[in-house]
């Protein structure tokens, strides 16, 4: 199957974050892309035995969801660990890393 469009990846990512309750209060479909990764509160506070547990779980979920759409991506855990990125930039990184299956 073909790679998915940036719009499809952004929509998937937004709906995943919204459905799982990760978006901060006041976030809408219009402004979610400006939210920075640290505002999600992933792994805060980190567990001593698994400091990236929530990032890893989110990465696995996104890999599975993109696969269900017919594309493959490597785990986006590194993107989710980059505190300087916005969610729109994470979505773009996921888009750019996909491979057709």
* Residue 67, both tokens: 């696969």
Task: Domain count for the chain, please give it.
Answer: 1
Residue 28 within any structural domain of the chain: no
Residue 1: pLDDT band (50, 70, 90) is low
Residue 1 within any structural domain of the chain: no
- pLDDT at position 101: 76
Alpha-helix runs per DSSP H in the chain:
6-20, 53-69, 77-80, 87-97
Residue 55 within any structural domain of the chain: yes
Mean pLDDT of 19-40: 97
Range of the domain at 70: 6-22+34-100
- pLDDT at position 47: 92
Beta carbons within 8 Å of 21's beta carbon, 6+ residues apart: none
Residue 43 within any structural domain of the chain: yes
Question: pTM for this one?
Answer: 0.93
């Amino acid at each position: 199957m073909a790679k998915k469009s940036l719009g499809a990846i952004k929509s998937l990512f937004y709906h995943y974050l919204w459905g799982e309750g990760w978006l901060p209060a006041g976030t809408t479909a219009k402004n979610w892309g400006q939210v920075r990764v640290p505002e999600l509160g992933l792994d805060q506070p980190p567990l001593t035995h698994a400091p990236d547990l929530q990032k890893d779980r989110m990465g696995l979920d996104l890999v599975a969801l993109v696969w269900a759409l017919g594309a493959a991506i490597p785990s986006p855990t590194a993107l989710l660990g980059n505190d300087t990125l916005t969610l729109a930039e994470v979505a773009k990184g996921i888009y750019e890393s996909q491979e057709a299956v």
